[in-house]
Every structure is written in structure tokens, then in C-alpha cells.
A and B are shown apart, each in its own frame.
Chain A
Amino acid sequence: MAVQVQGEVLSIRRVGAYNAMTVVAPGIAELTRPGHFVAVQVGGPESSMLLRRAFAIYDVKERGVYGGTVEFVFAVHGKGTAWLASRRPQDKLDVVGPLGKPFRLPTSRVNATLVGGGYGAAPLLPLASALRERGSRVDFVLGAGSADRLFGQLDAKRIGTTIAVTTDDGSVGERGRVSDVLPEVLDRTGSEVIYACGPMAMLKSVSAIAAERGIPCQVAVEESMACGIGVCMTCVLPVIGDDGVSRMVRSCVEGPVFLGDRVRWDDVGTVPSDVLGAPVPVASTGGGN
């Protein structure tokens, strides 16, 4: 269940290489669970950018002085996010949310390791709080290209029992990838579940490590999206269903959170020949649709 809200920017601040934006958007906070995302209109009503931009929800407040708010963290990537970064308090912003399937919480107390890459750490922080509220132990592995792209370190230190940090350039923490330190963290903490959000390559390696150890792993993927609400079929990836059949599924409504061992990582960006309805090869480029 999602709503479309004419919101208003409450604040925007720099956090390292990212921007954290809080929007007054009544109606969204109450429905939000960790792992949900919002889709934001960019460029104003006459914009030549027709499509919404998707951002994982970092924080929500159901009722502040201003009514419900939603906060997300974003990197400037192209034109749409550049426009967003130039918004100022009181600017209008059209927001749709909460969207997607959130992370599923364990029914019992567990030891959980949360793995975040770059801004992918954002949705893991509310997840960590929810896990802690249920009495679970939370350990973090956070990675990024460089120190300024590491998000959520302070929050993670506060909520988590331990935190391991890696950067590609070694500017903070260990030099390397999260997958380099993850096995050691899992051994040390006796983790029974893994949650991860970040670049697809990271999710793939985290899922592989989880599979080797037979640890259940939920990952939040990022696929290019045109609508975010399930009506356009642009955001698909090959996922194995409960019945063992692979399908091209919409990551905006059936995801973005998937079980790591159900995503066919090596086949993302292709249509494997054994997915439901795979084409009988014909050489042609089509008009689309």
C-alpha cells in the first residue's frame, strides 16, 4: 500500500559525499518498514525528466511538529539527483511511498550481520534498530570506495555490537571489500542471518558467502526503474520462485528485498533460456513495448 503525497522539503544536509534529505510527507511514515523505498518526482511539473527516482528510506517520523516525515540519503548521479540536491527547505516535492517489499524480521532473537555498501547502509540502520528492539544482536560490516562514501558509521556504532569497515582506497578501516572481512565477522559473531544492501556486485559476493555457510541472507537490490509501482516491467531480474521455476520478476514490487540465494546473479542483465517464457531465439531488434 503506497500513497502519493505532495510533500515539502524540511531539510537537506551534506553527509560526506552524499545528501540526506528530509521531506514532510504525511501518510508515508505510518506505513513504512525497514527496506521500503520512496519514488520522487524530479525537475518540477514541466520537467523533461518524466520518471521518478527511487531512494531507500533511511528514517521516518510518524508525527513531528510538521506531520510525518521521510528521510533518504542520495548520491548525485545524473540530472535528476543533481536537481534534487539543489532543493531547499519549503520546496515542494512529490513523493510516492512506501514502495516495495521490506526486509523480513526473524520471529526469534538472532545474531544478525548487516552488510552495507556506500549509501546502501541507509536502509540497514532502521532495520538494525528494529532487530535490536526484538532483542537480537546486530553487527555491521560497512564498505565504500572511500571515507566520504561511507555512510552511517556513527549510527552503526551506536546500534551495533561491533562494526567492521572497509574502503577500496584504505582511507578508513581495512583496505579492500566487505566480502574480504565478512567471513571473519560471521565466525566471530556466530551470525545466523545476513542482511545486505549495496551495489549488485557486493550483493552477489555476500550471497555467495552466505550460501557457502548455509546462512539465510536477504538483499535489497537496485535495478533501473521507470515507475517504481509495478506497472512498466522495466526493473526485472531473474529470480528462482518457491516452485523452483525462474521468472523475470519486478524488483519494485516483488523486491527490492530478495533472498540472496534466489537471485540468479550471474544472469542479471540477461534472460536465461530456462526462465518462464524465455524466447525461442529470433534475430531481430524490435520497437519495444
Chain B
Amino acid sequence: MSEMTVRRHVAPPLPHVDLSTKLAGVTFPNPVFTASGCAAAGQELDQFFDVTDLGGVVTKSIMLAPRSGRPTPRMAETPSGMLNSIGLQGPGIDAFLEKDLSWLADRGARAVVSIAGGSVDDYTKLAQKLRGRPGLTMVEVNISCPNVEDRGQVFACDPVAAAAVVQAVRRNTAPGIPVFAKLSPDVTDIVAIARACVDAGADGLSVINTLLGMTIDTTTMRPALAGITGGLSGPAIRPVAVRCVWQVHQALPDVPVLGMGGIRTGLDALEFVLAGASAVSVGTTVFGDPTAPMRVLYELAHALAERGIDRLSDAVGLAHRPPVAYVPEEPDPVGDELPVVRTPVGFEEERA
């Protein structure tokens, strides 16, 4: 064991920035979380870094019963991204509570448990099973699932169905445990879904899940994934994700957002914070770089310090300020360089 501890990645000291973040009344020591489905339940990553150093561990979406998932191939690498069609493989809630959540609790990690179901009743039962469990810090509701009671229509694409799920989970979850609804970007109006979830009791929003995509193998001339279509993730989707966070924060500035989609560096994370996220999840990047969440945290802290921002919370949504309202603090002048005086640049009239 001592060997393991010594070998693990040890985070270099962070600059003096208050990284703590409040999500619906719960304070997390820092804003960097894992993403559901990209960190299992934390145990595998714990060999690379101490998972209690994360803001929170978001676990793979769990369903009521064990689930085998889809056939292979389940993934295809795409430019700056990947497609997956895992099909929510998992051991079911009972085995999860016994093996995974209890491990996270013993370890002292902050567990954000993601739940998924095929009906409102499934979600209700999942929330009831989670109630009062040690280690549970927050619930993330994965609503990007087909509703078996509505011809497989995805909950996240229908404000009424999304609201029904969120309401059921909120009612069956202990007060003090925030319930976040995870939004799909594959909708015409993400704000409408966000509002429906918040009106139904969501304490916050996780933004975004994967985008529906597809790739065809030109050798076999068949879809590359056995599941035909899959979820696109990674840096390829980052601009879509930043746009979604921006729109949701603009419409609902008081609702905390857990932002994600292609975060690879601290500056990527900062982009999400500036767009309105109070915390971020690092997903696909972990596959290529298992210690990435710790690196992102470190880089984010430095990026804030370099910009003279002492508290993460001061940066949340900062990009929404009007263009003139914020004047960054000038760093101490170096040597005797002259201050730069900017005069407006004039242009000639366009000639016909």
C-alpha cells in the first residue's frame, strides 16, 4: 500500500486562490469533477491520484437492474473526439450501493451519483434507494434515456417528460442533497428544457451530455459502431457545450451549472466557468490522460491567479458582463516600459 501511495501523482501546490464552489447549498473544495461514464466509480482512477482531491466523483449512470449494454464495437475515435455506444452497462443499483458507493464513502470522496431509467417510476425507485446513503453528496439525473412508456422518446428532449423525472427524483431525495438534471444538447431550445427541469425542482443543471453522431467504416462499408449511432464527446464538442452553458446561465443566472464537454486543460475549464459554470466535469480526456482532472485543477488555479482573480466564484459567468464593465487589474509595471495609450483606430469610408 505504501508503494501505491508513493507512486501516485502528487499534485503540486496550488496558488492562493479560493477554489471552493457552492452548488445549491453544498460547498465543494474545488470545482473539478469527473464526468459520468468516464471514471466508473472512482476506484480505477484512485491508483493514479487521490480521488478525494477531486471536487466530486460523478459515477457512471446506474439503473435499477444489472445491464449488459450494447454489442461491440462500442467506440470509434473521431477527430478530437470519440463516439461511444456503451448502452449504460452496469451492475444495477443494489450492487452499486454495496460495492461502489460504500467504497467512495469509506474513501471519503464526495460522490455524485448519476441515475438513469426507462420510466418515471424507475427514477423514483432509484432516488429512494439512494436516500440516506453515506457518501452521497449529490444526485445527477441522466435524462438522455429513452422513455419506454413513450415509444423510446428521450426524456431530455421533451420538457414535460424531463420535468416529470426531475420532480420524482427531487421528491424522493433527502433535502440538502442537490439534484442536478443533465441536459442533452440535441434539442432545438436547451433553455426550455432547462427551465422545465428547474421549475420541477432541479437544484442545478449538468450541461452537456454527448451529441448523437455516427461514422461509417469505409473498408467494411458499414457503420463503425455495432449500435450504429453513438454519443460524440471530447474537444470536438467543446464549442457546442460552451454555447449551451452560456445560454442556460444567461436565462437562469441563479441556477448552478456543472459544465462539461471536451475539457482538456485548465483554460478549457476556465472557458466553462466564464460562460457560467460553477464547476466542471472532465470526461473523455481521462481516457487519454488518467491524471487529467488534477492537471486541469492545477492549471485552472493558475489561470485564475494570473488574471488576478482570487476566488473562483468571482469568475463564474464573467464572460456575460457588458464589454466595458470589467477592467482587469494591471499587473505591476515591469521596468520602465511606457504605458500603452490606445487611440481609437479610424478607417476610410468604403468606396463603391
Contact = CB atoms under 8 A, between A and B. Distances in A.
Interface string B37-53: 11110001101100000
Nearest to B230: A288
B83 interface: yes
Given A226-B84, A230-B44, A286-B146, A279 B287 contact: no
A29 B97 CA distance: 36
Contacts of A232: 37-38, 75, 84, 86, 287
A48 B82 CA distance: 10
Interface residues of A, number: 45
A265 B97 CA distance: 32
5 contacts: A94-B289, A236-B72, A277-B90, A287-B144, A289-B84
Contacts of A247: 68
Interface in A230-285: 230-237, 247-248, 253, 268-271, 275-279, 282, 284-285
A289 B71 contact: no
Contacts of B230: 287-288
A286 B85 CA distance: 7
Interface of A: 1-4, 27, 41, 48-52, 94, 96, 223-224, 226-227, 229-237, 247-248, 253, 268-271, 275-279, 282, 284-289
A50 B285 contact: yes
B186 A253 contact: no
Contact of A226 (B4, B75, B211): B75
A289 B7 contact: no
Contacts, number: 169
A137 B211 CA distance: 55
B15 interface: no
Interface string B1-42: 001100101000000000000000000000000001111100
B214 to A, nearest CB: 9
Given A49-B77, A232-B75, A288 B84 contact: yes
A232 B7 CA distance: 23
Contacts of B132: none
A233 B74 CA distance: 8
Interface in B221-254: 225-231, 234-235
Contacts of B37: 232-233, 289
B212 interface: yes
Contacts of A3: 7, 48
Nearest to B89: A233
B135 interface: no
Contacts of B318: none
B303 interface: no
